[in-house]
Amino acid sequence: MKLHPHQRANLLFGGLTGGAALSILVVLGLIAWDVLSNGLPQLSWEFISKAPRDGMTAGGIFPAIFGTVALVMIMTLAVVPVGVLTAIYLHEYARQDGLPARLVRGAVYNLAGVPSIVFGLFGLGFFIQFVGGGIDRIFYGGDVVYGQPAIIWASLTLAILTLPVVIVATEEALRTVPREHREAALALGCTRFEALLRVTLPQALPGIMTGAILAVARGAGETAPILFTGAAYFLPHLPTRPHDQFMNLGYHVYVLATQSPDIEATKPILYGTVLVLMLVTVMLNVVAMTVRSRLRADRA
Amino acid sequence: MDHSGLGPPTPSQPGPPVGLAAPLRPVSRATAGRKRVDAIAKWVIAAVAFSAIAAVVLIFAFVVREALPLFFSPEVREEVTPESMLFAQAWKEGSVPSYSWQPVSVVPKYSLAPLLVGTFKVTLIALLFAVPLAVLAAVYSAEFAPRKVREVLKPAIELLAGVPSVVLGFFALIVLATFLQNVFGFTYRLNGVVAGMALGLAIIPVVYTVSEDALVAVPRSYREAALALGASRARTAWSVVLPAASPGIFAAIVLGFGRAMGETMIVLMASGNAAVLSWNLTSSVRTIPATIAAEMGEVVVGGAHWSVLFFLGALLFAVTLTFNTVGSWYVARVRRKLGGMTE
Give the CATH number, domain containing residue A127. 1.10.3720.10
- In this predicted structure, what is the pLDDT of residue A128? 94
What phi and psi values does residue A52 have, to the nearest 5 degrees?
-65, 150
Chain A nearest-CA residue for B294: A227
Q: pLDDT-derived band of residue B303, with 50, 70 and 90 as boundaries?
A: confident
A193 touches chain B (CB under 8 A): yes
A148 touches chain B (CB under 8 A): no
Which residues of chain A lie closer than 8 angstroms to B134, CB-CB? 20, 24
Least confident piece of the model among A46-50, A73-77, B106-110: B106-110
Same domain, A30 and A165: no
Asked whether the predicted pLDDT for residue B19 surpasses 70, the reply is no
Query: What is the Cα–Cα distance from A19 to A72, expressed in whole angstroms?
Result: 39
Query: What is the Cα–Cα distance from B226 to B231, expressed in whole angstroms?
Result: 6
Q: Of B50, B175, B293, which is closest to A227 when you measure between CB atoms?
A: B293
For residue A225, give the nearest of A115, A146, A75 by alpha carbon: A115
Least confident piece of the model among A53-67, B161-175, B256-270: A53-67
Q: Of B6, B50, B232, which is closest to A104 when you measure between CB atoms?
A: B50
Same domain, A138 and A101: yes
Count other C-beta atoms under 10 Å from residue A216's C-beta: 24
Same domain, A10 and A151: no
- In this predicted structure, what is the pLDDT of residue A196? 94
What does pLDDT average to over chain B? 85
Asked whether the predicted pLDDT for residue B6 surpasses 50, the reply is no
Same domain, A37 and A60: no
Q: pLDDT-derived band of residue B339, with 50, 70 and 90 as boundaries?
A: low
Same domain, A24 and A60: no
CB distance B108 to B85 below 8 Å: no
State whether A108 and B52 contact (CB < 8 Å).
yes
Domain count, chain A: 2
Asked whether the predicted pLDDT for residue B16 surpasses 70, the reply is no
Could you give the ipTM of this predicted complex? 0.91
For residue B55, give the nearest of A8, A157, A226 by alpha carbon: A157
Query: What is the Cα–Cα distance from B150 to B223, expressed in whole angstroms?
Result: 19
- In this predicted structure, what is the pLDDT of residue B5? 44
Gap from A225 CA to chain B (nearest CA, Å): 9
Question: By CB neighbour count within 10 A (0-12 exposed, 13-18 middle, 19+ buried), where does A22 fall?
Answer: middle
- In this predicted structure, what is the pLDDT of residue B340? 54
- In this predicted structure, what is the pLDDT of residue B2? 44
Asked whether the predicted pLDDT for residue A153 surpasses 50, the reply is yes
CATH of domain B110-342: 1.10.3720.10
Least confident piece of the model among A57-61, A145-149, B230-234, B237-241: A57-61
- In this predicted structure, what is the pLDDT of residue B137? 96
Chain A nearest-CA residue for B41: A193
Ranges of each domain in chain B: 110-342
Q: What are the residues facing B110 on neighbouring strands? A: B101
Residue A184 vs residue B274, higher pLDDT: A184
Instruction: Rank A96-100, A252-256, B78-82, B321-325 by mean pLDDT and report only the highest.
Output: A252-256
B225 touches chain A (CB under 8 A): no
Same domain, A114 and A263: yes
Same domain, A180 and A126: yes
User: Which residues have C-beta within 8 Å of that of residue B142, sequence separation ≥ 6?
Assistant: B212, B215, B216, B241
Asked whether the predicted pLDDT for residue B83 surpasses 80, the reply is no
Alpha helices in chain A (DSSP H): 5-39, 45-49, 62-88, 99-113, 116-122, 133-139, 151-175, 179-187, 192-195, 201-221, 249-258, 263-299
State whether B162 and A119 contact (CB < 8 Å).
no
Checking DSSP bridges between strand A58-59 and strand A52-53, what pairing results, if any? antiparallel
* Range B292-296 contact pairs with CB under 8 angstroms and sequence separation of 24 or more: B292/A117, B292/A120, B292/A121, B292/B264, B292/B316, B293/A117, B293/A120, B293/A224, B293/A227, B293/B264, B293/B265, B293/B268, B294/B268, B295/B103, B296/A120, B296/A121, B296/A124, B296/A227, B296/A228
Q: pLDDT-derived band of residue B97, with 50, 70 and 90 as boundaries?
A: confident
Running DSSP on this structure, what letter comes out for residue B110?
E
A15 touches chain B (CB under 8 A): no
Same domain, A9 and A144: no
B41 touches chain A (CB under 8 A): yes
Q: Which residues 137-156 in chain B show a CB within 8 A of chain A?
A: 137, 139-141, 143-145, 153, 155-156
Which DSSP string corresponds to A128-181? IIIIIHHHHHHHSTT-SSSSS--HHHHHHHHHHHHHHHHHHHHHHHHHTS-HHH
B260 touches chain A (CB under 8 A): no
pLDDT digits (tens, 9 = 90+) for B23-78: 556 667 788 888 899 999 999 999 999 988 999 999 999 999 999 888 888 887 77
Q: Of A5, A20, A129, which is closest to B136 when you measure between CB atoms?
A: A20
- What is the mean pLDDT of the segment spanning B209-222? 92
Asked whether the predicted pLDDT for residue B9 surpasses 70, the reply is no
What does pLDDT average to over chain A? 91
With pLDDT > 70 as the criterion, what percentage of chain A qualifies? Answer: 99
Q: Of B35, B63, B144, which is closest to A121 when you measure between CB atoms?
A: B63
Query: What is the Cα–Cα distance from B177 to A1, expressed in whole angstroms?
Result: 45
Output the CA–CA distances (angstroms, integers) from residue A98 to A64, A90, B136, B209, in the order listed: 46, 10, 39, 29
Determine which helix (DSSP H) or strand (DSSP E) holds B331, and give its type and residue range. helix B304-342
Which residues of chain A lie closer than 8 angstroms to B229, CB-CB? none
CB distance B301 to A155 below 8 Å: no
Residue A7 vs residue A219, higher pLDDT: A219
pLDDT digits (tens, 9 = 90+) for B228-248: 999 999 999 999 999 999 888
Same domain, A30 and A150: no
Gap from A295 CA to chain B (nearest CA, Å): 15
Determine which helix (DSSP H) or strand (DSSP E) holds A58, and give its type and residue range. strand A58-59
Q: pLDDT-derived band of residue B342, with 50, 70 and 90 as boundaries?
A: very low
- In this predicted structure, what is the pLDDT of residue B11? 47
CB distance B258 to B327 below 8 Å: yes
Asked whether the predicted pLDDT for residue A242 surpasses 80, the reply is yes
- What is the mean pLDDT of the segment spanning A101-110? 90
User: Which residues have C-beta within 8 Å of that of residue B206, sequence separation ≥ 6?
Assistant: B161, B252, B255, B256, B259
Count other C-beta atoms under 10 Å from residue A172's C-beta: 19
Mutate one of A11, A128, A191 to test the B interface: name it (highest B CB count within 10 A).
Answer: A191
For residue A251, give the nearest of A136, A149, A146 by alpha carbon: A149
Instruction: Rank A59-63, A72-76, B154-158, B271-275 by mean pLDDT and report only the highest.
Output: A72-76
Q: What are the residues facing B89 on neighbouring strands? A: B98
Domain extent at residue A18: 1-42
Which residues of chain B lie closer than 8 angstroms to A21, CB-CB? 136-137, 140-141, 145, 153
- What is the mean pLDDT of the segment spanning B4-9? 46
pLDDT digits (tens, 9 = 90+) for B147-192: 999 989 999 998 999 999 999 999 999 999 889 888 888 888 888 8
CB distance B231 to B158 below 8 Å: no
Q: pLDDT-derived band of residue B146, with 50, 70 and 90 as boundaries?
A: very high
- In this predicted structure, what is the pLDDT of residue B21? 53
